[in-house]
Structure 1
């Protein structure tokens, strides 16, 4: 270490100078150190955001721990296999309890509330009354921004989206409103801080500039948090809306009334037919919920901005300037409203065309094998190109319309409104410039500089708020287009709900204008003595309803318990229509139908349906694996059923019950029909209706299957066009070409005697076969000139006599 005393005088002086400079720098730093006010709004907001984030983190952590603890107690309490835990149980209050496996031997308990069926019965009148008053609503909706038809539709659907005030969607909506107000308030603080930063920059005040810059970075955190929270709540609200609406639709669409089938029958009703209903339930509901939830932020934020910024600018610019601004907004809104194309209608048409194109593609995928056999790729390509061309033409039309409107909209909202914003923000500065010069000269120059900085600060604030106000107004005008699109989505969703409420009514009439016709047919369930038809008409559902002509005369028959019925007739005579009415798929307009409970009946359609799943699922359909276990059955029982229908080889061919395939393409026609009989054996109902259910199997297998059903004690009603099936049945209902029918009791004494007589006649004829064969050979030899000893006349007489014995009146050449 070098001692200072050993240095020369010059060097000592240099070191002293350096020490003095350091001391001066430290003193200057202490005097000019940036001081942060911890009670200022940016700091308080920053700390509040940190505490709120930490609080939410602790809350969700504790909630997850509590959920896991409850799952642990539930796993400890329930000592059933995991597969059974996934089953559902109906509680005393009608709710459904479901245990879902989460892996690692953990389950989660979910309670699904019981749907209020009375609510659907009450809601249907909302839709009915809406269409009754539709003409009045349309007349009152002319010339206003928000169409009253749209508002009425939305108010009815709103009861589904938010069924009660104390629900999750309400909290999400209120939270979104809170954050929208908070974002506007933060924007106001940021505008003031922006003006302060510019003022300090012009004044070259580095200390205050650094302090305000720190405030800027601090307040940016809660502002960013608020923006992210609004987007999060927007997505959560859309999901909540979609969940409630989809569950409401599923409760009507997939219940015992079978609305999913009835809604597809309105092909003759232009106001009631829903083409591509799958698109309504999936894509349209999603677009509607996204559009509605996004509308709260797209309209709520600018609306709140207009209120907050207007109040603040009124104090700076005066009431006249605010009136001028809003007058400009009103005039612009009227002009844009008149120039706005029908975006809602265009959006609805595009959705419809997209559905058509999608279904063409779906049809090609589902029927690719059949199309391949027919070599029909060229015609399918033509149809697909035609549908795609219609869609592209419409999209091209939308693009052109949007371009023309976008030019006008951007010019007015972005640039014209911004120019007015500069004018109104500069009014205080321009008014200050026209003061008398002598008055200005009397002002101290230093005070004048301070006023200039204040004017600059106020101009920056006013300019930022005016631009924000113009942006809020422009976004509010832009939202008109969003409202128009929402109108189209709302109309399609409302139409879907209306048609579902129509067909959901147990007394739905396809011919009624509003779906609630005058149906007088009586259905008696839990009938213990077989099946009874009295004045039973078979009417195809159409726009004429019960006034339509029946396919054939009204049926009045009674099939007692333990007897089997064959409904015989040519294709297209109406055999399947009878089963549709009995099953409740078609309306029963008049007469009396007495039948057993629906749980005691099973229906096999002409086309066997195979669900997505494994081989086990194909046998037990429409039950689930959990239902099978609760019924006390296992895979050994299923193997026994496959053996009974001669399909046990499937286990060797496919592997096991758990293999998953596209079964409709795996099974042959005969295997499909035998699999349907296997479902009957698993269900073991009292009655089964077979609609051409054995026409793809061999005769010996058909005999075996009918005998199997008889052995199991299962009564059956068979629809067929083959008289050979009479031998398995006790009664025959024959439908003839002249729309008449004939009922025969095959077990009556008269029919038995006629059958015995016919058998004897056939036996007599069979006994003469050898004589006829010999005589046939003699005639052939005579005709060939090889048998000349026979008398020609006696030979012809003998042939005539033989034909007469057979019951013929003439001989063929």
Structure 2
């Protein structure tokens, strides 16, 4: 028991002695209540008093920095804990009120903003509310003037104006305003970079002091300085982790801003994703593999720009801090020699730097080609299997893979000689010069005084050597950043090309890649006329579909001089427009207009392949331009027009309900008051209600599958008719929408459209569909066309001729049956 008391007393004396040895603070007689206040007050006085002992002041700084980081970490943990508690309480409160909960994912507000409820953690009931601000269309129209063309020379020079100009424009998207959160993250990152350099100075001084304590045999001071080493290790480790986290966080924020900016232009009502195929100026592989550009290139660019920023900011800060400190030890001559060495090294490395920007751009293009071809294989597996085209596909894939490997190895091969030169200069030459510069003050002091103080010289040499190595490391990272910037130029050029093309296609003045008028303008044409490449007029909210003198021309670089499919096309559905009052069409709201009191009007477009039938639908959908200036297209507005393509589209990974209501989202479906019983009724109307038996009744509507593979060709086409029944548009355009459906079902579906009085235009090659339509538009294939009313004598004569042709074929049935019987007998004797 007495031995324990003695040990406790020794420990108490040691703890009281430690502050005195470390800070010169005598705590004897200080009560427990005033202990912390006395220590903090003494630490503050040591830092502010320039006459205090150097060792005590340094240790006080280390202790205060450690305390500050500890308090900041603890405070952050407490605040985050309180936030989690409040969030859980709010979640629990909402859970107790089922009427307050929202089961769908998002809400569209009146101002265009969206409120999304994102599930988090393992519990699906926990949802985080995220507000997405409305997009500003004016911004994209304004920004298109910034993305001007800087020339075709894709150079990777460090300070080339093209690279800096492109980067400065893209930076406005990454950091849209000074008060943006990314500005705050950049400021915090710079703070931690400065803090890491400052802590490196502390570590360098402490390192020299520990070596001095060991050589002089001062064990007590050694233990005290070693304790300070462990104290300074916490803020140093915290700072390094914070820098890495902020760099990653900043990269993700940059990626979010850039991706949303691209998506807003690429996927909007102007259909930029479709019109990109007509932009002849976008011959770059960036647009050919735009999926790879939006996903991989954006990610690599954001990672590269954040990495380059950290790799440049940290060395620059180190160079400033270490140079100021070393100037007192090495003198002006030593610092000048160091920076002369840096400039010479930078010149040599810059001269021998390979064109990494161009090589990286080619490698990204090769990756996109290889990725896209595999995507093509996935989308066409069945067709390739039917053709047994494995050998051809394998040859093509291997060729693309070999080219990709060549591009990747080419980047590594050109780095070999550069890396040899870089390692020799930065690692070995700079280390040798570091020893030379670090020994200068010791040699000069010993030579001038004739006294060699080993302890002091050893301490100064250790400090100078450590700072010289840190300075050399900063310089080498700055030289390494030249290579990183060269790679960044490649990514920047690809991203800038992507944004420039999207702005060009997204513009209301997009000319579908036409360059003819620009050529005429250079020759000396009238600029007021030559700039109007697309001159047709589109009238919205019309009470029908009307073509007036429209030349159907395939969009190309030749513009109106391109391939013409149909000349001066003119028709109108319905043929006669009637209103419920005497007001003009422009004065009456579309909801007040009536088509007719009888059944809806219909027209059949017939013609051979390549004659321009589907092109008429593309013009109606406004995805093809009207080149001739006297051409007029009048179409209904909003949801009154529904165009069905030849191949029915199905959302990847969507529910069966999503397929039925496309292009409406499930959130909008429920927000508008629709119910699943409507969909069940529609499935019964198009004879698809048997699909519900595959699941547990209506739960099949929530089933998720690859529906384009689950449903047969006929079922997919009937899904298109189900979409018509759900959306109830006044006008429908169907392009070969029944070619995979049996004759009985085809008859039923067309009569269904007529029963519900839809106005529809059918594009087909089968004259047998004439009986379901009122008008027939025949495309001859030589730019000519003929429109006829199927109730006229001429149309009746044409139908009678078709009937006579069918009767002649029926008369040969007996002959064909005799031939079949003869072939059967021959087969039996074999």
Task: Say which SS state the counterpart of residue 456 (structure 1) adopts.
Answer: helix
Task: Say which SS state the counterpart of residue 98 (structure 1) adopts.
Answer: strand
Which residue is equivalent to 2:691? 650
2:550 to 531, 536, 540: 536
In the alignment, the residues of structure 2 paired with residue 725 and residue 521 of structure 1 have an alpha-carbon distance, to the nearest angstrom, of 32
In the alignment, the residues of structure 1 paired with residue 705 and residue 811 of structure 2 have an alpha-carbon distance, to the nearest angstrom, of 55
2:107 matched to 1:88? Answer: yes
Which residue is equivalent to 2:151? 134
Which residue is equivalent to 2:51? none
Task: Say which SS state the counterpart of residue 552 (structure 1) adopts.
Answer: strand
2:616 matched to 1:578? Answer: yes
Shift of 1:390: 0.6
Distance 1:405 1:738, change over 3 A: same
Check the 8 A contact 2:790/2:796 in 1, yes or no.
no
Distance 1:164 1:397, change over 3 A: same
Which residue is equivalent to 2:736? 692
2:345 matched to 1:328? Answer: no
Shift of 1:375: 1.1
Which is further off, 409-418 or 354-363?
354-363
2:539 matched to 1:519? Answer: no
In the alignment, the residues of structure 2 paired with residue 125 and residue 33 of structure 1 have an alpha-carbon distance, to the nearest angstrom, of 66
Task: Say which SS state the counterpart of residue 603 (structure 1) adopts.
Answer: strand
In the alignment, the residues of structure 2 paired with residue 295 and residue 63 of structure 1 have an alpha-carbon distance, to the nearest angstrom, of 35
* Corresponding residue pairs, total: 730
2:644 to 581, 601, 604: 604
In the alignment, the residues of structure 2 paired with residue 183 and residue 346 of structure 1 have an alpha-carbon distance, to the nearest angstrom, of 35
Shift of 1:404: 1.5
Task: Say which SS state the counterpart of residue 279 (structure 2) adopts.
Answer: helix
Task: Say which SS state the counterpart of residue 134 (structure 1) adopts.
Answer: coil
In the alignment, the residues of structure 1 paired with residue 106 and residue 738 of structure 2 have an alpha-carbon distance, to the nearest angstrom, of 34
Which residue is equivalent to 1:637? 678
Matches within 5 A, 1:180-199: 180-199=193-212
Task: Say which SS state the counterpart of residue 509 (structure 2) adopts.
Answer: coil
Check the 8 A contact 2:192/2:242 in 1, yes or no.
yes
In the alignment, the residues of structure 1 paired with residue 109 and residue 421 of structure 2 have an alpha-carbon distance, to the nearest angstrom, of 60
Matches within 5 A, 1:88-107: 88-91=107-110, 93-100=111-118, 105-107=125-127
Which residue is equivalent to 2:666? 625
In the alignment, the residues of structure 2 paired with residue 81 and residue 50 of structure 1 have an alpha-carbon distance, to the nearest angstrom, of 40
Shift of 1:95: 2.0
In the alignment, the residues of structure 2 paired with residue 275 and residue 245 of structure 1 have an alpha-carbon distance, to the nearest angstrom, of 20
2:757 matched to 1:713? Answer: yes
Which residue is equivalent to 2:441? 428
Which residue is equivalent to 1:676? 720
Matches within 5 A, 1:720-799: 720-748=764-792, 750-751=793-794, 754=797
Cα deviation digits, residues 194-235 of structure 1 (max 9, x gap)? 111111111111111111111111001000000000001001
Distance 1:196 1:759, change over 3 A: closer
Shift of 1:271: 5.2
RMSD over aligned CA atoms reads 3.2
Q: Please report the TM-score for the alignment, with normalisation by the length of structure 2.
A: 0.83
Which residue is equivalent to 1:558? 572
In structure 1, the gaps of 5 or more residues are: 2-22, 441-447, 778-813
In the alignment, the residues of structure 2 paired with residue 377 and residue 58 of structure 1 have an alpha-carbon distance, to the nearest angstrom, of 61
Check the 8 A contact 2:736/2:764 in 1, yes or no.
yes
In structure 2, the gaps of 5 or more residues are: 2-8, 24-38, 44-59, 519-530, 575-594, 819-830
Distance 1:26 1:75, change over 3 A: closer
Shift of 1:520: 1.6
2:356 matched to 1:315? Answer: no
Check the 8 A contact 2:279/2:505 in 1, yes or no.
no
Q: Please report the TM-score for the alignment, with normalisation by the length of structure 1.
A: 0.84
Which residue is equivalent to 2:81? 61
Distance 1:188 1:78, change over 3 A: same
Distance 1:758 1:235, change over 3 A: closer
Check the 8 A contact 2:732/2:758 in 1, yes or no.
yes
In the alignment, the residues of structure 2 paired with residue 146 and residue 603 of structure 1 have an alpha-carbon distance, to the nearest angstrom, of 51
Task: Say which SS state the counterpart of residue 566 (structure 1) adopts.
Answer: strand
In the alignment, the residues of structure 2 paired with residue 501 and residue 309 of structure 1 have an alpha-carbon distance, to the nearest angstrom, of 46
Which is further off, 222-231 or 55-64?
55-64
In the alignment, the residues of structure 2 paired with residue 769 and residue 374 of structure 1 have an alpha-carbon distance, to the nearest angstrom, of 38
Shift of 1:257: 0.8
Distance 1:407 1:325, change over 3 A: same
